A and B are shown apart, each in its own frame.
Chain A
């Protein structure tokens, strides 16, 4: 009788120890993994500053042409419409992030990767891109084309 009542007790203690061991292992794994996972998340190298950037010289941008430049570390495009207006957009296609380009023959923006077309306001004309390109503010200061966030 005594033995019978004692045995389940033993097993329960064994179980408890097993669980404690497992929990301790899990805690150890968590302590190691937490910094590792955090380490893998890249830090922001450039603060998002609302900086103005000189995209180029007005004289070097004839009408019906475009040019890629760097804005906040990403490609952006500045173009002069056939009417002579200067506009700037992100150059990162909203589909799969290829760099877009200005097509003088089509007179609008085009993404070569999957044949995405954007009009001169960055709106999608045709092709896979789901969203329009973000437009930037363009100011002309003397010869300089200055681009900033709106």
Chain B
């Protein structure tokens, strides 16, 4: 009896293979959007692996964090590569997740029976942003320090629970060594646990329901998921891996200067690009709106938008009846345009 048979008897991988071969991917004009999920998953896997490597040398203490990252970059063999890939891939993952969201949204792939796939996906996007936010502070450099200060301050503007939320995030009234340890714990334990559960659910649902076919798009046929589609998915991943390596080598992510809580905040402080639109909106909102504090109003609006995004499949009753009503794509396009405009304004103001 060969190794193959022995393994098959125990793992029943032939059943899995048969399942994969049975799964079909529709072929049509917008079929390229089917890759966005796999691309996001690829960057996530890269984050997990490089993150585990960084854990070997990183020290989550305010008096050692910066030095340990510098050690990784300067002394550890290929440490610069691992760290740069982790940072670049984090940015790419946010981008890929947003693309995936847009692809799913505009093809109305969230409609019955995929509502929960959408909900888990939006939650995963939230987890991704939380990963990005908490990871940003870990090198304990000046920019990260003050950006986190501002970011948690904004969380303090959430109505009613804001203040408590801020203290909970910071582990106190201020950004201190306690904050760093808290963020580290969130970044390497809580969020990974959440992501595992959500991603497990998300991917299981995708397997159960298969690829969604957009409403009234002519499907030219279908191809097997395994091996045809998977092989092409894999080729995309290899190309992305190469791209990551090139970018990480040519454009090292600066480490900056060690945070000094007593030093004045640096000029031109800005959050990462994916938070720029919120930052810019909050900056442009007037101080008081109808007797309410402007910032609190803005934060509340963002929170409500997030909630609406989560509930899209239940709100879009046309799509549920396989109807192509233009309201939701129009709303989505408007939101997208708003985000782009605000990001552009923030970039222009920063120059």
Residues of B within 8 A of A40 (CB): 53, 56
How many residues on the A side are at the interface (Cβ–Cβ under 8 A)?
11
A39:B238 contact, CB within 8 angstroms: no
Any B CB within 8 A of the CB of A59: no
How many residues on the B side are at the interface (Cβ–Cβ under 8 A)?
13
With A28-B238, A40-B56 known as contacts, the answer to whether A45 contacts B78 (CB < 8 A) is: no
Any A CB within 8 A of the CB of B236: no
A39 vs B83: C-alpha distance in the bound complex, in angstroms?
11
With A28-B238, A43-B71 known as contacts, the answer to whether A36 contacts B53 (CB < 8 A) is: yes
Q: How far is the CB of B220 from chain A (nearest CB, A)?
A: 27
Q: How far is the CB of A55 from chain B (nearest CB, A)?
A: 27
A43:B53 contact, CB within 8 angstroms: no
Any B CB within 8 A of the CB of A8: no
A38 vs B79: C-alpha distance in the bound complex, in angstroms?
9
A92 vs B238: C-alpha distance in the bound complex, in angstroms?
48
A25 vs B56: C-alpha distance in the bound complex, in angstroms?
27
Any B CB within 8 A of the CB of A35: yes
A39:B71 contact, CB within 8 angstroms: no
A36 vs B56: C-alpha distance in the bound complex, in angstroms?
12
Q: How many A-B residue pairs have CB under 8 A?
A: 30
Q: Which residues of B219-273 are within 8 A (CB) of A?
A: 238, 241
A43 vs B241: C-alpha distance in the bound complex, in angstroms?
26
Q: Which residue of B lies closest to A36 (CB)?
A: B53
Q: How far is the CB of A121 from chain B (nearest CB, A)?
A: 38
Any B CB within 8 A of the CB of A73: no
Q: Mark B55-75, 1 if CB is under 8 A from A, else 0.
A: 011000000000000010001
B76:A43 contact, CB within 8 angstroms: yes
A41 vs B82: C-alpha distance in the bound complex, in angstroms?
13
Q: Which residues of A36-67 are within 8 A (CB) of B?
A: 36, 38-43, 45
B78:A38 contact, CB within 8 angstroms: yes
Q: How far is the CB of A87 from chain B (nearest CB, A)?
A: 35
A28, A36, A45: the one contacting B75 at CB < 8 Å is: A45
Residues of B within 8 A of A39 (CB): 53, 56, 76-79, 81-82
Q: Which residue of A lies closest to B72 (CB)?
A: A39
A32 vs B45: C-alpha distance in the bound complex, in angstroms?
13
B77, B81, B82, B238: the one contacting A43 at CB < 8 Å is: B77
A45 vs B70: C-alpha distance in the bound complex, in angstroms?
12
Smallest CB-CB A-B distances: 7 pairs: A35-B78, A43-B75, A38-B77, A39-B78, A38-B78, A43-B76, A39-B82
CB pairs A–B below 8 angstroms (7 shown) = A32-B241, A35-B82, A38-B77, A39-B78, A40-B53, A43-B71, A43-B76
Apart from the given pairs A35-B82, A41-B77, 20 other A-B contacts in the complex at a CB distance below 8 Å: A28-B238, A32-B241, A35-B77, A35-B78, A35-B81, A36-B53, A36-B78, A36-B82, A38-B77, A38-B78, A39-B56, A39-B77, A39-B78, A39-B79, A39-B81, A40-B53, A40-B56, A43-B75, A43-B76, A45-B71
